[in-house]
Amino acid sequence: MRRHVMTCAIAILALGALTIPTTADARGVHVRKVRLQDRCDPASFNAMFGDGVCIAHGGQLITVDEFLAKLNPVDLGHPKWNNHPDELNLRSGDEISVTVRGGEFHTFTEVPVTDELQPGCLPPLNEALGITAAPPTDAQCADFFATSGVAANGGSTLTVSGLPDGEHLFMCEIHPWMRTLVTVGDDDDD
């Protein structure tokens, strides 16, 4: 009986830990986490695009051919390249901690809120996805990479703070289907 009670208590604590969506830092600010995920295969990606485009990482590997096969207006990019979560609710004053789980560099750039895919900084990817709008300028892309870029495999962390109440859309300027819609307001249920 005691073993059963102990097992139930551990299970309840484990479930409770899974549902805690935030952590509070030393300032008492809640920090929500977003992972930019990819599964690039270093051998095939670096052979096609150049050394260092994809660094070694753990997990499933997707070859460049498999990746390119999903770059079309129907699939809208490979599903293993994604933001997790893709929707996030914050209370006013909360922060977002953004890291990469994978082997490529990504950005977490705020863009206008829309349901349509927006052009990223790589015109060949935009074209393959059927995005016809003009891409950002070279100067804008350089700024995105410098200010909202996140290095591969946890190599850096980007902190987003000070978002006003309302909806904010963030996307990767390299892989425009990688998006997270952030809603900021005091009535957060998480």
In the predicted model, is pLDDT for residue 14 greater than 50? no
Q: Which domain holds residue 84?
A: 23-184
Task: Specify the DSSP element, H or E, that contains 23.
Answer: strand 23-24
| Residue that has been written with the tokens 């249920």 in this structure | 189
Query: Both tokens of residue 118?
Result: 């927006």
Q: Is residue 160 part of a domain?
A: yes
Residue 138 is part of a domain; what is its CATH number? 2.60.40.420
Residue 5 lies in a domain: no
- Summarize pLDDT for 70-114 with one digit per residue, the tens: 999 999 999 999 999 999 999 999 999 999 999 999 999 999 999
Dist. CA 31–CA 85, nearest whole Å: 14
Q: How many residues does the structure list for the chain?
A: 190
Q: Alpha carbon of 68 to those of 2, 82, 187: distances in Å?
A: 56, 15, 41
The span from the CA of 154 to the CA of 147, in Å, is 17
Q: What mean pLDDT is reported for the chain?
A: 88
Residue 8 belongs to some domain of the structure: no
Return the percentage of the chain with pLDDT > 90, whole number.
Answer: 81
Residue 59 falls inside a structural domain: yes
Q: Is residue 57 part of a domain?
A: yes
Average pLDDT of 165-169?
98
Other C-beta atoms within 10 Å of 66: how many?
14
Global pTM reads 0.84
